[in-house]
Homo-oligomer: A and B are copies of this chain.
Amino acid sequence: MHFKKIINNTLLRLIIVLGFSLTAFNIHAFNGGGSSKFSMPKHDFANGSVNNQPITNMDDLMFRQPNPNVNVNGIGIFVYDGMFSLDALGPYQVFKTAALNAFFIAKKKGPVTMSNGITINVDKSIDDVSKLDVLLIPGGAGGTAMQTIDPEVLAWIKQIDQTSIFTTSVCTGAWILGAAGLLEGKDASTHWYRANEMLTKFGADYTGKRWTRDGKYWTSAGVTAGLDMSLALVNHLFGKEYTQAVMLDMEYDPQPPVKGGTPKKSAPIIAQLMQDMYDFFLINFVNCPLGTPGACLFN
């Protein structure tokens, strides 16, 4: 088989749009080129699902792709010390594979160290960002509890939410949305750990679903559920075939080695032990009334 020097323009556009994950490859064919000369079809980012007809040809697929001219402000993922890495990095990978403009934002620019020790450098602070199409808040344990009592963080989230198209959380990130007052009267998902007690504090109803959509608020269950929710968002925006393209890139056909992943699907003693373990770290936070000064959490 020979290298396809001549390919059709539609495929080339697909390559440019979907090819983000391949950019480390040294493509001589692109030298002197650039994506600016290819005009993208318009897409209504806000409404999503504008066209649920199956895709039958390349031009249809192109139409489903994001339009950078609409998606100006992009998808901001708020990151903080102590967060669970996959809560943010899973959705980030999904959004980047879908050629969406996803990036990280921290309270201050600089290194952010996740609970498992991974450190990333963040070049946008909350002072730099006043508007986002999509806000995503990842979860964690103690680090997350700290965000729920940080007035600057909560004020910024409320500000972003005023004009966001979607406000979303993964895992216990819902605690932060809740502390910002954004889940009042809403259905929501969160990590299973004392989910009912926590969401009740925020005036929200725990659905127990993998992810929950209530108006513009999308919330997911713990950690890995962020993958499913972000794919669901891609599906909502661009339809099934485009989502399948992203899932193929990530070969997302999950097959857990054993039954589990929720308390009900696990051996009762394991679910109890895990809850006891989390209690050791978090029960004071769970029992603190909403809006309590930080001292309450740690005594």
Given A142-B24, A277-B11, CB of A240 within 8 Å of CB of B258: yes
A277-B19 contact given A24-B141, A89-B118, A267-B244, CB 8 Å threshold: yes
**Shortest CB distance A20–B (Å):** 7
Interface stretch of the complex, out of A39-47, A129-137, A179-187, A245-253 = A245-253
Chain B residues with CB under 8 A of A18:
274, 277
How distant is A56 from chain B, measured CB to nearest CB, in Å? 7
Q: Are A260 and B274 in contact (CB under 8 A)?
A: no
Interchain CA distance A11-B253 in the complex, whole Å: 35
Given A247-B261, A270-B241, answer yes or no on A21-B283 (Cβ-Cβ < 8 Å): no
Interface flag for A49 (CB, 8 Å): no
Q: How many copies does the complex hold?
A: 2
Contact with B along A259-283 (1 / 0, CB 8 A): 1111101110111011011111111
Contact A228 B245 (CB under 8 A): no
Q: Are B81 and A86 in contact (CB under 8 A)?
A: no
With A23-B115, A244-B258 as given contacts, are A251 and B222 in contact (CB-CB < 8 Å)? yes
Chain B CB within 10 A, most for which of A265, A267, A282: A267
Quick one: which of B228, B256, B278 contacts A247, CB cutoff 8 A?
B256
Docked complex Cα distance between A121 and B61 (Å):
38
5 nearest CB pairs, A to B: A25-B142, A24-B82, A222-B251, A253-B261, A254-B254
Given A55-B269, A224-B227, 18 additional A-B pairs, CB 8 A = A3-B284, A11-B273, A12-B280, A14-B276, A15-B280, A19-B280, A24-B142, A25-B141, A97-B116, A118-B120, A210-B255, A223-B252, A224-B251, A248-B260, A248-B263, A248-B266, A250-B261, A254-B256
